[in-house]
Amino acid sequence: MNPVLFAVLNTELEKPRIDWPIIAPVVALFVTALVIVLLRAILRTQPKLVYQLSIAAAFVGLVTSGAFVGNEWRIIHRSGIFQTFSGAIAVDGMTVFVQAIVLIATALGVLLALGYLRREGLETPEYLVLLLLSATGMLVMAHANDLVLVFVALEVFSIALYILAAFDRRRAESQEAGLKYFVLGAFSSAIFLYGIALTYGATGSTSLTEIATQLGVVDPKAHTGLLVAGFALLIVGLGFKVSAAPFHMWTPDVYEGSPTPVTAFMASATKVAAFAAFLRIFAGAFAQASDDWRPAIYVLAVLSLLVGTIAAAIQSDVKRMLAYSSIAHAGYILIGLQVANAGSKRNELPGTAASLFYLLVYALMALGAFGVVQSINHRGETNHAITDYKQLSKRQPLLAALLTLFLLAQAGVPFTGGFIAKLSIFRSAVDAGQYQLAIAGMLAAVIGAFVYLRLVVTMYATGQDDDPDAANEPRIKLDVGSRIALTITASAIIVLGVLPNWFLDIAHQATQLLTR
């Protein structure tokens, strides 16, 4: 070893600055998960205690993480948006907004899961560990400003979800869901990774900031094949995660088979995190190349609306129906992405803001709807066929009313958050001159309303074959966790529908992307 060279290399190595406040939300969740694992190892003889401690720890961790996210918000207000960790992390409005949604969804996911785990006899700390680790990955996803980091984050939260989907070892459906999700997820991840490689080959960097700079210099009409092929493959990978058609096929099977609280978490938080990456990469870094990718997103959006809505209309199973409706929701959000950078004169409501707001509302709606479904289910995940919901209003009036609220919100009925969300999306599309997309969205909304109303009618309509004892069926006693979670989601959806201004403003502020 040449001592001189060694010395040179040593001195050149500047230590990376650790920006603790920025990674604190991630670290908080990760440490919480580790603490639970350690508790499990140390207190082996007292499993009950460990479980209770881990619930407490999970909430402490989530709240701490939330506080750190709040701190990030303060930092941005103080010193503007910036990047850190050699450009791997972007600290901007979207980071904070998405991290906040993910944490809310995780907290609600934990609340919903507690009663379910007790009922199904799955009360293990591992569930919480995996949920928190998955959320950790999503938080990273929210601030990832580098394609490699996006990929790592994607894998972190996905692999945790694969295991969560298969968490109920006694049910073959659950295992099947996990396995399917895993195989197909790995497949799409491989494609995504190849997309990263091609993009890197074309631009010479994986940093989104640098890619954006790169694309700013070259002639937007002369993108190399390497670059556009990279776009295609990145769209596939992200499209899979947000379950956009035609990469949606896994969704109904996995949503149906997974334990319902996992489905709730998967439907809400995953979509939020994956769309965060979608928005940051395409609306942000690839903004200059939007002529290349916008038509592709257009097709994906329309296909998702079409497939999601029509297929939802003919499902006989509530969980599957909601799965298809989540595909349709992905379609609406994709409309927002499609018009994210469209030239708009008024520019009152950029597509990005509309998408972000929609994600917030969607996460709550999905959590709420699946939360109710989970409470109605019997032990062993039965009782979620649509026919099982007949006359639910008589048997379980409260749950029926709540589900009605969530379904109406998904249908986009005024004075629910869903209405404002859809309206924002349509408005951004119209502002951008994308009338066809707006009309496609509205058409889907009309058919979609039928889908949701079908279930509502099933719950409320009375018929000849009514069970006369329906009203005497014992009321389901909701556990405290579900009660809190459903109260929060229901009231949030109404608040978002009636007083959306503040939230719209926040979503608007969250659109300052570092890479644009």
Partner 1 sequence: MNALLLAATKDVVAFHVNPVLFYALAAIAIAGATGVVISRNPVHSALFLVMTMIIIAVFFLTLSAPMVAIVQVIVYASAIVVLFLFVIMLLGIDRHEMLATDDRKYQRPAGAALGLLTLGGLIATVIGNWQLGPQTSSGRALSAIPTLDGVASTTAGETDQIRPLARTLFTQFAWQFQVTAVLLVIAVVGAVVLARRSTRPARTEVSA
Partner 2 sequence: MQRFLDLVWVIPALPALGAVIVLLFGKRIGEPKAGYIATATIGTSFVWSVFTFFALQSQHGEGRHHVYNLWKWFAGTGDFHVNFGFLVDPLSVTMILFVTGIGTLIHLYSVGYMHGDPRYSRFFAYLNLFAASMLVLVLGSSFLMTFMGWEGVGLCSYLLISFWFEKNSAAVAGKKAFVTNRVGDFGFMLGMFLIFSKFGTLDYVRFGSHEALTGVSHTTVTAMALLLFVGAMGKSAQVPLHIWLPDAMEGPTPVSALIHAATMVTAGVFLVSRAHAFFDFSAIGNGIHAGTVVAWVGAITALGAATVAIRQNDIKRVLAYSTLSQLGYMFLACGVGAYTAGLFHMVTHAFFKALLFLGSGSVIHGMHHEQDMRKMGGLRKFMPITGATFIIGWLAIAGVPPFAGFWSKDEILAKAFFSGGAQGKALWAVGMLAALLTAFYMTRQVWMVFFGNERFRDSLADDHGHDGHDDANAQGDPHESPITMTLPLLVLGALSIVGGFLSLPFTKPNLEFLARWLEPSLEGAKDIHPGAFTSGFLLSVGAVVVGIIGIAIGFTVYKRGLPDDGVDPVETKLGPLANVLENAYFFDIGLAKFVSGPATKFATFLAEGIDRKTIDGAVNGVGRTVKEAGDGLRRMQTGLVRNYALGIVAGVAMLIAYMWTRAI
Name which position in 75, 81, 184, 226 contacts partner 1 (CB under 8 A): 226
The site partner of 310 among partner 1, partner 2, none (C-beta below 5 to 8 Å per kind) is partner 2
Taking the complex as a whole, the smallest distance from the CB of residue 444 to partner 2 amounts, in Å, to 11
Taking the complex as a whole, the smallest distance from the CB of residue 178 to partner 2 amounts, in Å, to 9
Cα(55)–Cα(7) distance, rounded to whole angstroms? 50
Question: 188 to each of 338, 467, 469, how far by Cα in Å?
Answer: 22, 47, 50
Name which position in 81, 228, 470, 495 contacts partner 2 (CB under 8 A): 228
Q: Is 137 in the site for partner 1 (CB under 8 A)?
A: yes
377 DSSP 8-state letter: S
Cα(54)–Cα(32) distance, rounded to whole angstroms? 9
Name which position in 166, 234, 321, 365 contacts partner 1 (CB under 8 A): 166
Do 38 and 63 meet the contact criterion of CB atoms below 8 Å apart?
no
Name which position in 81, 228, 313, 447 contacts partner 1 (CB under 8 A): 228
Q: Is 240 in the site for partner 2 (CB under 8 A)?
A: yes
Q: Is 61 in the site for partner 2 (CB under 8 A)?
A: no
Name which position in 69, 88, 98, 359 contacts partner 1 (CB under 8 A): 88
Two structure tokens written together for 379 = 């032990």
Burial class of 468 by CB neighbour count within 10 A (0 to 12, 13 to 18, 19+): exposed
Two structure tokens written together for 132 = 């928190």
CA dihedral 384, 389, 393, 399 (to 10 degrees): 10
Cβ distance to partner 2 smaller for residue 224 or 487: 224
Residue in 312, 183, 331, 341 with CA at minimum distance from that of residue 271: 331
Name which position in 320, 329, 390, 395 contacts partner 2 (CB under 8 A): 320
Parallel/antiparallel/unpaired status of strands 89-91 and 82-84? antiparallel
Q: How far is CA 438 from the centre of its chain?
A: 23
The site partner of 485 among partner 2, partner 1, none (C-beta below 5 to 8 Å per kind) is none
* Alpha helices per DSSP H over 13-92: 20-42, 47-79
Residue in 349, 226, 247 with CA at minimum distance from that of residue 297: 247
Name which position in 63, 224, 473, 499 contacts partner 1 (CB under 8 A): 224
The site partner of 483 among partner 2, partner 1, none (C-beta below 5 to 8 Å per kind) is none
The site partner of 37 among partner 2, partner 1, none (C-beta below 5 to 8 Å per kind) is partner 1
Residues making contact with partner 1 (CB under 8 A): 1, 5, 9, 12-16, 23, 26, 30, 33-34, 37, 47-48, 51, 85-86, 88-89, 120-124, 126, 129-130, 133-134, 136-137, 140, 146, 148-149, 152-153, 155-156, 159-160, 162-163, 166-167, 169-170, 196-198, 200-206, 214, 217-219, 222, 224-226, 228-229, 232
